[in-house]
Chain A
Amino acid sequence: MILWQMLRFAAGGLAANKVRSALTMLGVLIGVASVILLLAVGNGSSVAVKESITSLGTNALTVSSGSAYGGARSASSVKKLTIADAKALAGDADSGAIKSVAPVVTTSGTALYGNVSYSPGSIVGTYPAYFETANQKVAHGEYFTDDDVLGSRKVAVLGATTAKQLFDTEDPVGKKITVGGTPFTVVGVLQAKGGSGFTDPDDVLIAPLPTVQNAFTGFGPVNQILVQASSADSTDAAQAEITRVLLGTHAIADPTKADFRITNQASLLTARESTTKTFTVLLGAVAAISLLVGGIGITNIMLVTVTERTREIGIRKALGAPRAVILGQFLTESTLLSVVGAGLGVLAGIAGSHFSIVGIKPVVIPESVLGAFGIAVAIGLFFGSYPANRAASLRPIDALRHE
């Protein structure tokens, strides 16, 4: 009953100065909303990174040449990766860890269809195993086959972006395009993956490895060897296997001097995740500061209120209001400010997270909503306690004489 009375007094006190109360609440509102929203943005970008990495292909290991331990080694001693390496890996039949191997060469060039000209982000020459390993699915048409590779046929599978640029609404399958003077027949179009990073994974043209080597790169080393582990659990075994085989083919005795690098999606994932975690923490810190500023706003306003209402406090004390009731009244006022402000902030934060912000779709973390609300209310109590305590410990005679 006395609690209800206090709530009524507090609401009355706040209503007496509506603009001031509203502005103070706005401070808390912005604090809470920014905590929720910025953490949602951080979380959203981390979710996006995770999705794009999964779309690159799970269980995939990429072998590329170069030192795994920095650039101390001179370039001349680095043996490039070759098709022989890939064959050695593929031929290692006694190991169950490796499922398939696809050597990859990448180059660039301009594709022509009729009078439309377009340069895809990359032109990839590889084996059919690449499609499964890199999680590239054909949406329309077909993959090229092992026969196409053996026969060096001039066929190509287009990424969604490349197909759109060259053919617009036309059906590309069966059409002939010219790349760097070599005619290719389009056999398939890949499903769009949608990119979130700097490169568009759909902006590709994929053709059989010998065809690309013949037309563009020559029969030298390959850029990468894409290896698919038999399962997500066997990526470590596969990595060890690759190391063992390639150290053999490159005749290197000391594993620390390996001239190739193996990256797997899991390590990529953790690296990216730690980046986005830093990003989220940074955003959270900025938001926390604004919440703190909102809290200081409450203290400020409550101090002004106490000063303004000193006489009223004196009257209440003369009527026999105990210290605890005065303390309670002003604490209730500041807490009410923060609770209403935080409540509106939660609404604003959740509403705001429905819009995408700088290309990132925010994903609200439920804990951040509860946390921000709780912290805001605690801030109201904490920052309100100083002015409330000041009001409660006023001597009645001093308070009454206050003009």
Chain B
Amino acid sequence: MRHVIDKRVPADPPPVIRIRHLTKAYGHGDATVHALRGPADPATGAPLGVSLDIEQGDYVAVMGSSGSGKSTLMNILGCLDVPTAGRYLLDGIDVGHLDERQLSLVRNRKIGFIFQSFNLVPRTTALAQVELPLAYAGVRAAERRRRAEAALALVGLAERAGHRPNELSGGQQQRVAVARALVTAPAMLLADEPTGNLDSRSTEDVLAIIDRLNATGRTVVLITHEDEVARHAKRVLRLVDGQIVSDVRQAPVDGPPPLLHRAEAGVPA
């Protein structure tokens, strides 16, 4: 629905994500390690930090080898971690100025997480998993149930609503996680190597769902080190040693994701 409204407004909407001169350092003094540094200041050699804008409706893949800072970036984007320096505006809100309670509200309303290791709550049925963010948002039980069931149906798991994580396959668990991430209708989906622990068949399933979500206007930021996965994105960023070394657009922001149809047609082939 969002992109329909966007088309009616001629001016560009504010970017979902705007980061400016973001750095993240661990340790002190000589032992300082910059997980995010950006380009070095030509005069002093000090890190200038990473700057990046992500438009509404975009589908961005962040690539890089381990240690490149992509997970650090993802944690900061998801408000799980705080940057050492720099500004981060999520949906126009400066996250750096929020207290803990407001941050939990942002995580609840603005961001949907999909983790590599699924991170489902143990001993909890799929339906209850998906209801969880709604419960924290204070949605009433009947409404919660209706929306959670709709989200599960969207990922094709309506009939598995009563199953616990240990009764689901990896692919099914990740689809529950996707349903849980999208149930609050967040401004963006953050996926940290969502297919890293999945076989190729489940990978296709999960990516097809993410493609469809993006096609309906949801902003997606996806972290991966597989080119195969990155091909689904409209824009590919490469990180090396805490700075962005390449930024390639594969498809326009307001179009469908490049592999949407192939993914759906690819199953019978």
Contact = CB atoms under 8 A, between A and B. Distances in A.
Contacts of A2: 135, 138
A397 B140 contact: no
Contact of B121 (A315, A395, A397, A400): A315
B182 to A, nearest CB: 12
Contacts of A322: 101, 104-105, 136
A320 B81 contact: no
Interface stretch (B87-95, B107-115, B235-243): B107-115
A12 B107 contact: no
Contacts of A395: 81
Interface centre among A2, A315, A324 (most CB of B within 10 A): A315
A64 to B, nearest CB: 76
A397 B123 contact: no
Interface string A318-337: 11111111000000000000
A314 B104 CA distance: 12
B137 interface: yes
Contacts of B119: 311, 314-315, 318, 400
Nearest to B180: A319
Interface residues of A, number: 23
Contacts of A325: 136
B100 A323 contact: yes
A154 interface: no
Nearest to B186: A320
A318 B101 contact: no
A343 B123 CA distance: 27
B109 A320 contact: yes
A319 B80 contact: no
A312 B129 CA distance: 12
B46 interface: no
Nearest to B78: A318
Interface in A101-145: none
B161 to A, nearest CB: 17
Given A1-B141, A397-B80, A400-B80, A318 B113 contact: yes
A316 interface: yes
Contacts of A314: 119
Contact of A319 (B75, B113, B140): B113
A12 B180 CA distance: 20
Given A1-B141, A312-B121, A312-B122, A320 B107 contact: yes
Given A318-B119, A396-B80, A400-B80, A323 B104 contact: yes
B118 to A, nearest CB: 10
Interface centre among A1, A12, A319, A397 (most CB of B within 10 A): A319
Contacts of A1: 140-141
Contact of B104 (A5, A16, A315, A317): A317
Contacts of B78: 318
A321 B105 CA distance: 8
Contact of B132 (A311, A319, A324): A319
Interface in B149-196: 180, 184
A319 B190 CA distance: 12
B133 interface: yes
Given A322-B104, A323-B100, A316 B140 contact: no
Contact of A318 (B107, B122, B138): B107
B68 interface: no
B203 interface: no
B202 interface: no
Nearest to A323: B100
Interface centre among B80, B133, B137, B138 (most CB of A within 10 A): B80
Interface in A6-25: 12, 16
Nearest to A326: B104
A321 B80 CA distance: 12
B137 A316 contact: no
Contacts of B121: 312, 315-316
A314 B75 CA distance: 12
Nearest to B140: A1
Interface in A344-403: 395-397, 400
B124 interface: yes
A316 B138 contact: no
Contacts of B132: 316, 319
B101 A323 contact: yes
Interface in B71-106: 75, 78, 80-81, 100-101, 104-106
Given A312-B122, A397-B75, A319 B81 contact: no
B140 to A, nearest CB: 7
B123 A320 contact: no
Contacts of A323: 100-101, 104
A396 B80 CA distance: 6
B138 A320 contact: no
A116 B113 CA distance: 96
Nearest to B133: A319
What 3 pairs between A and B have smallest CB-CB spacing? A320-B108, A320-B107, A397-B80
Given A317-B80, A324-B101, 10 more contacts: A1-B140, A1-B141, A315-B120, A318-B119, A320-B104, A320-B106, A320-B137, A322-B104, A323-B101, A400-B80
12 contacts: A2-B135, A2-B138, A314-B119, A315-B119, A315-B121, A319-B133, A320-B106, A320-B133, A320-B136, A321-B108, A323-B101, A397-B75
Interface of A: 1-2, 5, 12, 16, 311-312, 314-325, 395-397, 400
